Amino acid sequence: MALEDAKKQVDTAFTRAELRGLAYENAFAGAPSFLRRRYSKDLAGVDLAFTGVPFDQAVTNRPGTRFGPRAIREAATLQAFDAPYGWGYDPLSEMSIVDYGDLAFDYAHTASFPDRVTTHIATILGAGVGVITLGGDHFITQPILRAMADRHGPVALIHFDAHSDTWADDDMSRIDHGTFLYKALKLGYVAPETTVSVGIRTDNPDTCGVHILDAPFVHQAGVEETVARIKAVVGERPCYISFDIDCLDPAFAPGTGTPVWGGLASWQAAALLRGLAGINMVGGDVVEVSPPYDPTGVTAIAGAHVATELVALYGYTRRKG
């Protein structure tokens, strides 16, 4: 069946009729969309949408994450043939999923950007559709969380990162990827008692009361204990997952703006995400993939895998029956 479909499938980002099911278009051909889902602004009957936010004007070091959504989509063509491994079900066949395309914004009018992000995400949520966002630098999570909080109330947050992103900054007009969590806490989009940061390995004396499971903890305590700690923090609350690719060690994700050694291995990230099955996930993002610093493409591949795991997590509690 797959071979026969491969002979006739091309540009399924535009031509596929069904929103469910695997795709067998050649990975090296056609127009890339995330997991070969159809590009569509029509959210009728849709369960989950992907969208890109190609923004990198808030970085403290190397730019380039504006190219992240495009690179992640291309890398994801390798994963559209099969159900995500180890989940025991196929979310691509059980959910109607579209690629909603990228956020449109004026790159020269940075001040208007946060509101555009919030409105963009709120439009998707307002249609009763879940959303997973491909970044972009980590600032984008702040206006996304605003839309999530407007929809669900303050959400629990699972934050994978090398950095706490709680550097104090009470100027809410500043756009900075290192302060997104500080401001989200101060603005009430999330609460410290229901927020957990995983993989941290840079010093910040003020973590604003957030639960910290740093990289040494993950390495020493192991995946099972780390998952148990995360689930104890978020409970059954509506939960958002933000995955900064620099949570991974630079050996696994060199293409990022602020790499830090001693991070998680890709197998640890995969095991942690699969271990979170059953949480009440309402949305997520993958950020800080910066293709210019990784000619091999391995960072984008990691980002595509993380996003695919988020699909499986989102659908896990929504499976039929």
Is residue 45 assigned to a domain?
yes
Peptide bond into 136 cis (omega under 30): yes
Q: Is 138 annotated as a binding residue?
A: yes
How many structural domains is the chain composed of? 1
Q: Is 11 annotated as a binding residue?
A: no
- Helices within 154-275 (DSSP H only): 180-186, 215-221, 223-234, 266-275
pTM higher than the cut 0.85: yes
Q: Is 214 annotated as a binding residue?
A: no
First to last CA, the chain: 27
Which segments of the chain have a pLDDT < 70?
A: 1-6, 321
- pLDDT number for residue 9: 86
Is residue 297 assigned to a domain?
yes
Domain span at 184: 2-316
d(C-alpha 198, C-alpha 25), whole Å: 36
Is residue 288 assigned to a domain?
yes
Is residue 321 assigned to a domain?
no
Give the domain CATH number at 26.
3.40.800.10
Total count of residues recorded for the chain: 321
- pLDDT number for residue 2: 64
Is 204 strand, coil or helix? coil
- pLDDT number for residue 217: 98
Is residue 40 assigned to a domain?
yes
- pLDDT number for residue 306: 98
Considering only CA atoms, which of 281, 65, 284 is closest in space to residue 160? Answer: 284
Q: Is 163 annotated as a binding residue?
A: yes
Is 243 strand, coil or helix? strand
**Burial of residue 120, with CB atoms counted within 10 A of its CB: 0-12 exposed, 13-18 middle, 19 or more buried:** buried
Is residue 259 assigned to a domain?
yes
- The number of beta carbons lying within 10 Å of the beta carbon of residue 280 is 14
**The tokens of 156 are what?**
């629990």
